[in-house]
């Protein structure tokens, strides 16, 4: 997928420098702002952002290109204890973040004191990879809280460089990006220089529809849903797509559709508007709901939706 506009953080240089490229992997507890940070760095709304925890299910590669660098960013699911097959698969993506990282970003929010998984915490403390520890959401606190957080995390992760940021307000992000560039190894690019992400268009259709479901439905509904875009046809002036919302039970299907189809219609209208902005052209979308019993616990279905496996 090609970039549609420039990233404000990209730097251009006329000097001949050795080309740097590498993988920058972002990990942390659910809902600390990992997706917001990655979108601020990449300059496109690549990763699903809502106030509900556990919204990022796949490692999303966003790619930031300059004349003499390529930073490949992955946005991993928040670290949780697996409760069912889907969450176990999400944790596989987090484990793989350690395997290919050239720079590791460990993200916490102001006031947070611990990582939910002690084994991951030990991995972070003992890694040879450069670790940038970002204290996020500093706009929600004061200087005293921030100083206490700096002291706490310096003791907890002595090998980390600490940065205070607000990803949402874009405060401190440029400094983090400059440090990332310094830490990248000398390497040719891994992807074409016009690439924005390694994900296909259908992936982002699915993510945007899922974001609307996360926004408008309560309780277990958002976490029992997967989206499958079965058709995607791009013409000169319009993209035509057909997407199916998979749920686990008939009762969930009724809730998604709503009275006289009103709830499903709202999801479709809002998703279509976002997709038109994302793709830069008109979108015609057909949206359906199907029951796919116990898909979250089926290895075959999880593989089909791109989980078990990198």
What's the CA gap between 46 and 261, in Å, rounded?
29
pLDDT tens digit string along 136-156?
A: 888 887 888 888 888 988 888
Q: Residue 205 domain-assigned?
A: yes
**Cα distance between residue 43 and residue 6, in whole Å:** 7
172 with 221, same domain: the answer is no
The answer on 107 and 26 residing in a single domain is yes
Spatial distance between the Cα atoms of 106 and 121, rounded to a whole number of angstroms? 10
End of a domain among 183, 215, 238? Answer: 183
**Chain-centroid distance, C-alpha 52:** 13
> Both 229 and 143 in a single domain?
no
Instruction: Give the chain's domain count.
Output: 2
**pTM confidence score:** 0.57
Same domain, 121 and 164: yes
Burial 78-103 (b: 16+ CB within 10 A, else e): bbbeeeebbbebbbebbebbbeebbb
Share of the chain above pLDDT 70, in %: 69
DSSP state of 138: G
244 bridge partner residues: 228, 288
Which residues carry a binding-site annotation for GTP? 28-35, 75-79, 136-139
Residue stretches of the annotated binding site: 28-35, 75-79, 136-139
| pLDDT, tens digit, 9 for 90 and up, residues 46-91 | 544 444 444 444 455 677 888 888 888 886 655 545 455 555 555 5
Domain membership of residue 217 as a residue range = 201-305
Report the candidate in 98, 117, 122, 80 with the shortest Cα–Cα distance to residue 25.
98
């Amino acid at each position: 997928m090609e970039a549609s506009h420039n990233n404000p953080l990209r730097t251009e240089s006329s000097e001949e420098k050795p080309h740097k490229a590498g993988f920058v992997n972002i990990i942390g507890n659910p809902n600390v702002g990992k997706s917001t940070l990655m979108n601020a760095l990449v300059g496109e709304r690549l990763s699903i952002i809502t106030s509900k925890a556990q919204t990022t299910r796949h490692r999303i590669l966003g790619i930031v290109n300059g004349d003499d660098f390529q930073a490949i960013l992955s946005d991993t699911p928040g670290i949780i204890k697996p409760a069912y097959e889907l969450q176990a698969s999400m944790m596989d993506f987090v484990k793989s973040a350690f395997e290919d990282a050239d720079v590791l970003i460990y993200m916490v929010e102001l006031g947070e004191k611990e990582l939910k998984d002690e084994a991951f915490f030990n991995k972070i403390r003992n890694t040879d990879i450069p670790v940038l520890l970002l204290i996020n959401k500093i706009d929600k606190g004061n200087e005293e809280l921030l100083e206490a957080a700096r002291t706490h995390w310096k003791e907890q992760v002595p090998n980390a460089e600490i940065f205070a940021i607000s990803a949402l307000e874009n405060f401190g992000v440029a400094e983090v990006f400059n440090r990332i560039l310094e830490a990248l190894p000398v390497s040719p690019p891994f992807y074409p220089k016009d690439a924005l992400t390694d994900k296909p268009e259908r992936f982002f259709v699915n993510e945007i529809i899922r974001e609307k479901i996360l926004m408008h439905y309560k309780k277990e509904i958002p976490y029992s849903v997967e989206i499958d875009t079965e058709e995607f046809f791009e013409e000169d002036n319009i993209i035509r797509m057909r997407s199916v919302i998979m749920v686990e039970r008939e009762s969930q299907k009724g809730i998604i559709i709503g009275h006289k189809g009103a709830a499903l219609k709202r999801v479709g209208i809002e998703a279509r508007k976002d997709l038109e902005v994302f793709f830069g052209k008109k979108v015609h979308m057909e949206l359906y709901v199907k029951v796919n019993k116990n898909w979250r616990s089926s290895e075959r279905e999880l593989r089909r939706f791109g989980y078990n496996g990198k």
